[in-house]
Structure 1
Amino acid sequence: KKEVFETLEVRPSNKYLARYLEFHDAEIQRFFPGFVYKQEMNTISFFILRDMQVAGLFLAHREDVNVLRVGLDYVGPKYRDFKNGRFIYSRLRNWFLDQGFEKVIADAHSDKYFSYLKKIGFDEQPDGTYAKVLEKKI
């Protein structure tokens, strides 16, 4: 059976979002050491749903006119099969482009997150960040 992937956009002040971050904080810190949620930093906040189950959380902000910086790209333990990443950066590519983003940048906060970024097509930049250029797919 093919899984159904969806996003559920939430406001930065959403109470479920705050509780989710609190509940998963120890696990989030393994992949994003020092992560602290700042409501004002989020241009984009959405849960990734797989068959209507919360599989992960994506938080990002507009860093430049056409650059989106990932603040958090967290996936729960039972969904760590790279399908969420492929969904975000392949199936949502045109949505990001429609929002004016041409490039996504992220910091590799841990070895596991570094491996994930490389696997889903991010390239290391001279400044040590990782970037993925978004191209329109027809």
Structure 2
Amino acid sequence: MLADYWLDALGWGGSALLVFSLLQQRVLRFRTLNLVAGLLLIVFNAILGVWPMVALNAVTSTINVLFILRLRRQRHDAATFEVIEVGLDDQYLRHVLDTHGEDMRKHQPAFPGRPGPGQEAFVVVKGDETVGVVVIEGEGDTAHICLDYVTPKYRDFTPGEFVWRRSDLLCGRGYKRVMTSPTIVAPYYDRIGFRPSGEVFVLELDQDEAAATQRSRAV
């Protein structure tokens, strides 16, 4: 009886996790949960000897593994994401800010919903898909992060890092460092080279790397 109980729990648990994975907006989380559900169902169906379902879940699990490996490779791949500077009155920027305004306020409540005078805006894209928006404001040689937003689908990624990693993009504007806002919810900056400084994180920009990048782009 106990064995039957655990077998039922395995089958129902795998099925429930499979359904739950389909509700995920984050692409990497979806693939990961779907993979775990598939592995549970492989074990369940193998015990019962339902080999067609074992084969089906083995195929879907293999597909998920391939997608997860590709997504993890792309996670910090500058060739995957492109940074585009946009004007503060750009209509597409306004559209993105309006579409995701409510979600933005949850993660960065201090952002007023529109960039202000003297600020600079960048849209991070993957192909023709918008994955994030970054707004900075200069104070001397320091770029203060006013907004670093990622759309739900790519929340397992850190596309804003491609703005910070493009040292030539910021150094060309006279910035020597980047400083975060203390109001950003669940910051990720310690994972990409920023150092903690009180309630904020600071990144010292590599001036030599920026100069080399600018030279290579000029060739």
Taking structure 2 as the reference length, the TM-score comes to 0.54
- Any idea what SS the aligned residue of 2:117 has? helix
Hey, what does 1:17 align to over in structure 2?
93
Match of 1:39 among 100, 110, 116: 116
Hey, what does 2:189 align to over in structure 1?
117
Hey, what does 2:148 align to over in structure 1?
73
CA distance in 2, matches of 1:96, 1:78: 27
Hey, what does 1:53 align to over in structure 2?
129
Match of 2:172 among 94, 98, 119: 98
Report how far residue 41 of structure 1 moved. 4.0
Unpaired runs of 5+ residues, structure 2, are: 1-69, 213-219
1:11-56 alpha-carbon deviations (Å, 9 max, x no partner): 11122212211211111112101320243141x2111011221110
- Any idea what SS the aligned residue of 1:84 has? coil
Of the structure 1 ranges 77-86 and 20-29, higher mean CA displacement relative to structure 2 is found in: 77-86
Structure holding more helix per residue: 2
Identity of aligned residues (%): 24
CA distance in 1, matches of 2:129, 2:144: 26
Report how far residue 62 of structure 1 moved. 0.8
RMSD of the alignment, in Å? 2.0
1:76-115 alpha-carbon deviations (Å, 9 max, x no partner): 111123341332222x1122112211100111324412xx
Hey, what does 2:55 align to over in structure 1?
none
Taking structure 1 as the reference length, the TM-score comes to 0.83
Unpaired runs of 5+ residues, structure 1, are: none
- Higher RCO (CA < 8 A, seq sep 6+): 1
Asked if the contact 2:133/2:160 (under 8 Å) is kept, the reply is no
Asked if the contact 1:68/1:104 (under 8 Å) is kept, the reply is yes
Aligned positions, number:
132
Asked if the contact 1:13/1:39 (under 8 Å) is kept, the reply is no
CA distance in 2, matches of 1:118, 1:70: 15
Asked if the contact 1:85/1:120 (under 8 Å) is kept, the reply is no
Residue type matched to 2:109 in 1? P
| Structure 1 residues 110 and 100: CA distance shift in structure 2, 3 A | closer
Asked if the contact 2:194/2:203 (under 8 Å) is kept, the reply is yes
Hey, what does 1:7 align to over in structure 2?
83
- Any idea what SS the aligned residue of 1:45 has? strand
Structure holding more strand per residue: 1
Q: 2:205 matched to 1:134?
A: yes
